[in-house]
Amino acid sequence: MKEASLTPSQTCTSNCRGCDKAHIKAYSYRDQQGQQLHDTILEALTIFPMAHKVIDVYEPGAISADGITALPALALDGTVVFQGMIPTVDELVETFRNRYLYKSKLHRLQHLIVPVDMSDVSANALRFAWKIAEKTNAHLEAIYAMDSIFEGAKPSASGFLSGYNKTMQSELDMFIQQTLATENYHYEPAGKQAGAPGEAVANRPYITSKVIYGFPDTAIQTYSEKCDLIVMGTTGGGTLTHKLFGSVSMEVSKNALAPVMFVPPGMTFQGFPNMLYASNFESLDPLRIQQAVSFARKFDSQIHFVHIGPAGEKGVSLERKIFEINYQESHPDKPFIFTKMVSEDVVDPLYEYAFYHRITLLVFVTHQRNLWESFLHKSITREVLSSSALPVLVIHSDSDMI
């Protein structure tokens, strides 16, 4: 390996934990292509300077160990971003500019989970998630949180937890099979499907299922660390101990370690041609804008940034300027639309704007958990989630990172 850096005065520790440098690995043979890749990286860093550490990797063993299958290749902070090609300087500059975006779950969107309770609402959420997975080629996983060993319609011969697990797993698989039959898809339980997680089978998403243990809100919260997006309904049935889509959805919205999309009862997936980003002073971070834009691009969406506040509110011009600075992040055919609405209320103006602009997804981005708590205490989000006829996407900026 050969190490190079434009900032020799800055040093990294051996493991670089806590280091703010961008770690760039260039994989190639010791040939002209390898030198060209290295030179391109240095030129891009001249245009977009940042603290960095560049490592040229030539050894076949090291290349293979990092999962590289085609040379030349480039990894940024441990994520392979180019493989089998030499990126242009412009492509690298764009990659460096969006460095943290590659760590965003919403940008990656490879693993979706759908908590279900066997109700019609959860069946609808599963179908909705299926369409998203189909659009993004993501691995879809249906999970069932079991907080009692006495659940299930079928008796267990053993009476022990393992027996009930098999019972509930069987019921879960049957539920998935019946639900997705309406999508002309025949679901097969794990071990019987072709392909692997993350692999499309005949252009259809790969689906798995899992029974997890614990009270639904905490069990889903813990499991959410493993996924990129949670899709769940906003109201639902089930037993009194398994009222998954009532108060549980509120707890998940506050504490999940991944973005959460809430699907209203009866809502069918029609894509997201128009997304409303509910803007506030805590969503000014350009990374959050990039995350929203990244998600929008997957669905060819137009983003509407809507700020609602009292008359004479200070700081709105700064907010708009920040969006304009990041204008280049939007699609040229779908520029940002920024709107300031004057109102002491929040929910009604959002609904009004959504109605007149044919909004198909409401997006809330929070910067800190206590702000989300405040949002809930004002009953704003509770009203949105309980009464909205639109899907709602909640992103906590402090947990939407790998």
Q: Is the pTM of this model over 0.75?
A: no
Q: Can you tell me whether residue 223 is helix, strand or coil?
A: helix
Angle at 255 between CA 254 and CA 258, to 5 degrees: 105
Residue 219's pLDDT is 85
Give me the residues paired with residue 142 across strands.
Answer: 114, 209
- pLDDT tens digits for range 370-396: 544 554 444 455 555 555 578 988 887
Sheet holding 274-279, edge to edge: 207-213, 139-146, 111-115, 229-233, 260-263, 392-396, 361-366, 274-279, 302-309, 337-342
Report the 10 Å Cβ neighbour count for 281. 15
Alpha-carbon span 90 to 72, nearest angstrom: 17
Residue 12's pLDDT is 45
Residue 255's pLDDT is 75
Beta strand segments in 116-215, E: 139-146, 207-213
Q: Can you tell me whether residue 133 is helix, strand or coil?
A: helix
Take residue 180 and report the two structure tokens written for it.
């997705």
Residue 30's pLDDT is 92
Angle at 345 between CA 339 and CA 349, to 5 degrees: 45
Report residues of the chain scoring pLDDT below 70.
Answer: 1-20, 148-164, 190-204, 235-250, 280-286, 313-335, 366-388, 397-402
Yes or no: say if 87 and 74 are a contact pair by the CB < 8 Å rule: yes
Q: Which domains does the chain have, with CATH numbers?
A: 2-97 (3.40.30.10), 107-227 (3.40.50.620), 274-396 (3.40.50.620)
Residue 178's pLDDT is 94
